[in-house]
Amino acid sequence: MLEVSALNVSYQQQAVICDLSFQLAEQKILALLGPSGSGKTTFLRALLGELPYSGQITLGGQKITPHSVRLAYVPQDLGLLPWKTVWQNVVLAQKISQKRHQHMLEEPTALFEKLDLMPVLTRYPAQLSGGQKQRAALARAFALEPELLLMDEAFSALDIVTKAKAQALFLEQWHKTPVTTILVTHDLKEALQLSDQMLIFSKNKRPQLLENPLAKLSYAKRIKPENLMGPFLEFEQRMVQLWEAK
């Protein structure tokens, strides 16, 4: 279980997250939503150890650090090394993780096949389409066999068709190797389609943890308009009220 207790994080001497506490069950997906500057990425940076904080963040009762917990991070720009091929990006990440955790990682070929990356393994990121870059970043993340997966607007740069395909591939792989996941997004539809719970940030109130009303439905059922539109309109109204609150 991921447990956050009395968390306070500041950035450039300004308090961004104040007294945040919540729990996320193991192998669940939590979506973080909120306006720009409300603390979503700041929270991820605290998890990654990039920002100091007070309070506690633990996974399975253990304090989260890059050396104590196997972390995988997919940033908005996807973070692929431009001078490495697709294959090299994934294998290098595996080697770094294994060196830190002495964790034997499996050959990623099956993952490449499933994500349809075999034809582009020798290409560099600049030679890939947006969808191929996204799949390469997902392959690198899942190949690490992480205990905690962090994704910061990872699907935001994709067109609507490519995004839908990438999201479906992500969930398909996630269900094969489920991992506790935190997904930052500005897209409420994406949050409803992918998450189990949603943590709603605002600039003037403490974040609110809400259950996703579609959590028990399969992805195929979540994307159907008759299942999606009711919860979407309800949550959209609630989020606007939170974000506009003084």
Q: What is the pLDDT of residues 147-195, one digit of tens each?
A: 999 999 888 878 888 888 888 888 888 888 899 999 999 899 999 999 9
Q: How far is CA 85 from CA 112, 139, 146, 200, in A?
A: 13, 13, 22, 37
Over the stretch 72-95, which tens digit does the pLDDT of each residue have? 899 888 889 999 999 999 888 777
CATH code of 194's domain: 3.40.50.300
Do 47 and 119 belong together in one domain? no
Q: Are 65 and 167 within one domain?
A: yes
Domain count, the chain: 2
Residues 170, 102 share a domain? no
Domain co-membership, 135 together with 54: no
Residue 169 in any domain: the answer is: yes
pLDDT higher than threshold 70 for residue 103? no
Q: Is the pLDDT of residue 123 over 90?
A: yes
What digits encode the pLDDT tens for the residues 8-67?
A: 998 887 888 888 999 999 999 999 998 888 888 899 999 988 889 999 999 988 888 777
114, with CB counted inside 10 A (0-12, 13-18, 19+), is middle
Q: Is the same domain home to 89 and 132?
A: yes
Domain end point (choices 102, 123, 145): 145
Q: Provide the token pair at 143.
A: 């190949």
Same domain, 89 and 17: no
For residues 171 and 52, state if they share a domain.
yes
Judged by DSSP in three states, 87 sits in helix
Residue 75 lies in a domain: no
With vertex at residue 182, the alpha carbon angle to CA 184 and CA 106, rounded to the nearest 5 degrees, is 125
For residues 155 and 129, membership in a common domain is answered with no
- Domain membership flag for residue 237: yes
Alpha helices per DSSP H over 130-214:
130-143, 160-176, 188-194
Query: Quick check: pTM over 0.85?
Result: yes
Domain assignment present for 74 = no
Q: End of a domain among 97, 126, 145? A: 145
The total of other beta-carbon atoms located within 10 Å of residue 149's CB is 24
Q: Give yes or no: residues 105 and 162 share one domain.
A: no
Q: What is the pLDDT of residue 126?
A: 94
pLDDT at 99 > cutoff 60: no
- Provide the pLDDT confidence category of residue 105 given band limits of 50, 70 and 90: low
pLDDT band at 100 (very low <50, low <70, confident <90, very high): low
End residue of a domain, out of 103, 124, 145: 145
Contacts for 232 with CB less than 8 Å, ≥ 6 apart: 188, 189, 192
Q: Are strands 14-24 and 2-11 parallel, antiparallel or unpaired?
A: antiparallel
Identify residue 183 by its one-letter amino acid code. L
Q: Are residues 197 and 85 in the same domain?
A: no
Domain that holds residue 197: 2-69+147-244
What mean pLDDT do residues 109-125 have? 88
Give pLDDT, residue 245: 60
**114 shares its domain with 40:** no
Mean pLDDT estimate for the chain: 86
* Over residues 95-110, mean pLDDT: 66
